[in-house]
Chain A
């Protein structure tokens, strides 16, 4: 009796297993796990990414060839690398995600490198901008940018446009120091001279003393870099309030001048020059479609930023992968496929360096102007298909 029972049980289990695998062969679920901050000081990044992903799925549907693409979100909080790693393990082991993605800050991405190498999970970097990251695991591919990449045209543009001397003011942490170095080298290559530099601690928001030093230096331009949010807002406001603009100094920066932050500055930011890989108000059909989808999905006049556009393109990459490889693929297959893609992104055409698995894209020099009563960035120069200069300068760094 017992034996019969056991046999039926086994048969029943086997039947249900095979039934399950049969049905899943027709319509599989592809899981895309995204780890971003939704709370803490970097919450804006998570919010932007999520809105773009939701808009993408609203526009393109949640299924590719009948296979559902399910996005699973994890909030890593205030730039917490240890937690990011934990979530990556949980997403890979328990949720069995097919693709991983996200990572607001460099430490977050670095923290998961070992995990994804071990699990061979293809991983799409949606923000973290330090050059070296994709070299830390063969399963990384980056759709965002590197800091060196999007700042590299600025120094050259400045020397060609009447800026002879510059003062640099950057936040005192990894990306800030990289930015200072990259701007200085491209500016001096063009014949400019950096007459002074300040590195400001990250927690500072009273920039009066630094701006006073910059003012006294009488440089033609001030180059700034600060993470988006309170520090960069305070920096630009003090620039205006202390009369550096009146004194004829040009303000130059990068991500601080994204359209999403412009309302925080008020009119003080008009005339500022920045260099970036995505101009939010560009008139490419892809961008118009992107912004329309975003507005419809969020139900308001949404302003995309570099994270939103990276998340949008990241989704595109995943959808293309599922379209071509089907719902089941190995990490190597996926990465191999992804790095050969070229995408007509809202920011312009993008492709990937197949060796480095890092993005190649246009970089735009923009000026903040008031157009029809709205403060936006307007392209004034374009450098096409920029590779990450750091990698070419450091071919063997690991």
Chain B
């Protein structure tokens, strides 16, 4: 029983990191239909930013994560206005080629400027310890990830489901043409969402560095997980991405713990089965379903 709870906590904390990073990707992919393979690069840049702030300038961990999110958001906004905007009307192939190219640019740039070795951990001492949670000692950092992930999920839920902007956003995801024809400024909405998504990714990259270590190849190494979250959750679905990220985290962890000889195989089996059952993801928005 305690083992099951441990697996659950491990899986949830891992899933929360995936969620924070991927939620932006799912919304932008749902909204703009842009296959943005460079999403992981924004998470990576956020993580690098936070590491530099903490180690070189002595900024506290949490503040550094927030600053990293802002920086990733600004960078995302610039990229949206200059590089992504001309892509919206192009086909999927140019989108894939250009965004994977951006990934390589980011990898090469970080290798050149910061170096190819993995970065030191920036998890502060107050988080990097064990706490008693009743039935065992458990890493505080992982509990912290679950709490922060939960809070962020709540905030994003408030914005998407309870605000006017969220209502417009959902409308634009469901039917962009209709949204335009009733006078919504969809392209401005694109930019705002893109900035928000990149900021979240940057935050996730910074705060999750203890689970997904930072190195220049980060942008490609974890891309497949981010894409699985989007595919399983349903493109453009906020709730879907939360459910998918947690499910992936828990199943992946449980699989590795209980049947390690299958390695990471169980996860892909699950993805396979889920997509056969629901090709558009668990909770796809109306326009796709």
In contact, B221 and A230 (Cβ under 8 angstroms): yes
Give the residue among B14, B252, B264 with the most A Cβ atoms within 10 A: B264
Q: Which of A198, A233, A246 contacts B213 (CB 8 A)?
A: A233
In contact, A205 and B121 (Cβ under 8 angstroms): no
Q: Is the CB of A248 closer than 8 A to any CB of chain B?
A: no
Query: How many B residues, CB 8 Å from partner?
Result: 40
- Chain B, residues 230-260, CB within 8 Å of chain A (1/0): the string is 0000000000000000000000111011001
Q: Is the CB of B142 closer than 8 A to any CB of chain A?
A: yes
10 nearest CB pairs, A to B = A209-B257, A43-B116, A44-B116, A209-B256, A201-B263, A208-B10, A230-B213, A41-B217, A241-B139, A233-B118
* Closest chain A CB from B80 CB (angstroms): 27
In contact, B211 and A209 (Cβ under 8 angstroms): no
In contact, A237 and B263 (Cβ under 8 angstroms): no
Q: Which residues of A contact B221 (CB under 8 A)?
A: 41, 203, 205, 230
Q: Is the CB of A47 closer than 8 A to any CB of chain B?
A: yes
Q: Which residues of B contact A237 (CB under 8 A)?
A: 121, 210, 213
In contact, B211 and A198 (Cβ under 8 angstroms): no
Identify which of residues 236-269 in chain A touch chain B, using a CB-to-CB cut-off of 8 Å: 237, 240-243, 246, 260-261, 263-266
Task: Kindly state the separation between the CA atoms of A208 and B119 in the bound complex, as whole angstroms.
Answer: 20
27 A-B pairs with C-beta separation under 8 A = A47-B115, A201-B263, A203-B221, A203-B264, A205-B212, A205-B221, A206-B212, A208-B10, A209-B254, A209-B256, A209-B260, A212-B257, A213-B257, A216-B3, A233-B213, A237-B213, A240-B128, A241-B128, A241-B139, A241-B141, A241-B142, A241-B210, A243-B130, A246-B130, A246-B137, A264-B118, A264-B121
Query: Which A residues have a C-beta under 8 Å from some C-beta of B?
Result: 39-41, 43-44, 47, 172, 198-201, 203-206, 208-210, 212-213, 216, 229-230, 233-234, 237, 240-243, 246, 260-261, 263-266
Q: Is the CB of B287 closer than 8 A to any CB of chain A?
A: no
Known A-B contacts A205-B211, A243-B130; the reply to A43 vs B216 at CB < 8 A is yes
Q: Which of B3, B108, B118 contacts A261 (CB 8 A)?
A: B118
Q: Is the CB of B120 closer than 8 A to any CB of chain A?
A: yes
Instruction: List 20 extra interface pairs beyond A41-B215, A263-B120, CB under 8 A.
Output: A199-B261, A203-B221, A205-B221, A206-B10, A206-B212, A208-B13, A208-B14, A209-B256, A210-B260, A213-B260, A229-B118, A230-B118, A230-B217, A234-B211, A234-B213, A240-B128, A241-B128, A246-B137, A264-B118, A264-B121
- Chain B, residues 1-21, CB within 8 Å of chain A (1/0): the string is 001001100100110000000
Q: Which residues of A contact B210 (CB under 8 A)?
A: 237, 241
Q: Is chain A's binding surface mostly helix, strand, loop or mixed?
A: helix
* Closest chain A CB from B206 CB (angstroms): 16
* Closest chain B CB from A322 CB (angstroms): 31
Task: Kindly state the separation between the CA atoms of A200 and B6 in the bound complex, as whole angstroms.
Answer: 19
Q: Which B-chain residue is minimally distant from A242 (CB atoms)?
A: B139
Q: Is the CB of B187 closer than 8 A to any CB of chain A?
A: no
Q: Which residues of A contact B256 (CB under 8 A)?
A: 200, 204, 209-210
In contact, B14 and A206 (Cβ under 8 angstroms): yes
Task: Kindly state the separation between the CA atoms of A266 and B119 in the bound complex, as whole angstroms.
Answer: 10
Q: Which residues of A contact B213 (CB under 8 A)?
A: 205, 230, 233-234, 237, 264
Q: Which residues of B contact A212 (CB under 8 A)?
A: 3, 6-7, 10, 257
In contact, A47 and B139 (Cβ under 8 angstroms): no
Q: Which A-chain residue is minimally distant from B108 (CB atoms)?
A: A39
Q: Is the CB of B181 closer than 8 A to any CB of chain A?
A: no
Known A-B contacts A201-B264, A205-B212, A241-B139; the reply to A44 vs B117 at CB < 8 A is yes
* Closest chain A CB from B227 CB (angstroms): 14
* Closest chain B CB from A3 CB (angstroms): 59
